[in-house]
Amino acid sequence: MMKKQIEAKLPTEWGKFTIMAYADNENDWMPHLVMVSDNTDFSKDVNVRIHSECITGDLFHSKKCDCGKQLDAAMKYIHKYGGILLYLRQEGRSIGIINKLKAYNLQDEGMDTVEANLKLGFPADARDFSIATDILTDLGITSINLLTNNPEKIKYIEKSYITLKKRIPLEIYPNKENKNYLKTKKDYFGHFLDLK
């Protein structure tokens, strides 16, 4: 089970947070990160966003996905209403940045994100969201509102000891570069998206 290695105060453009690093040991250079808004009320249902690392979207604002905009919207929401963002180090649906860029090249040849991952010999989605439930349990959180469009994240919560009170949609308006990406999310993975 993941252990909290360290925490520190972190003022951000969104507001004031406490950042925590979770890993098996303190020498892990790629720990999972937890951002807790200073105005979080732990006596109520806690707003939670489970966000998988996306260097291209989160850091470089890639238009090929909606990840960076989802991260920004989640941080704004969590600062305003209180809550926690879990930043899981599962780049490219857990295939890593190098393989993700290989998948990008296959997508440029006409494949969708699922076809590209399968062509490279990976599952369509190799992420493990039980990491999130382990961290939430360690933080003593028993009841949450989940910011997500992903039914798989909901399943992981429902299989845990954490009560899911409600789902908060986190839909980003598509652009021409990510419309097919979002369509694959909806059609293949069953994400709750309205792509009109």
Spatial neighbors of 154 by CB under 8 A, at least 6 apart, are 146, 148, 164, 167
Residue 127 annotated in active site:
yes
Q: Identify the active-site residue in 89, 112, 125, 134.
A: 125
Long-range contacts of 94-102 (CB under 8 A, 24+ apart): 94/52, 94/125, 94/126, 94/127, 94/128, 95/120, 95/122, 95/126, 97/55, 97/56, 100/56
Cα separation, 166 vs 163, whole angstroms: 9
Residue 125 annotated in active site:
yes
Q: Annotated binding site for Zn(2+), which residues? A: 54, 65, 67
Q: Annotated binding site for GTP, which residues? A: 49-53, 70, 91-93, 113, 148, 153
Q: Annotated binding site, which residues? A: 49-54, 65, 67, 70, 91-93, 113, 148, 153
Q: Identify the active-site residue in 38, 41, 127, 194.
A: 127
| Residue 61, CA distances (Å) to 49, 70, 93, 104, 188 in order | 19, 11, 17, 15, 24
Active site residues: 125, 127
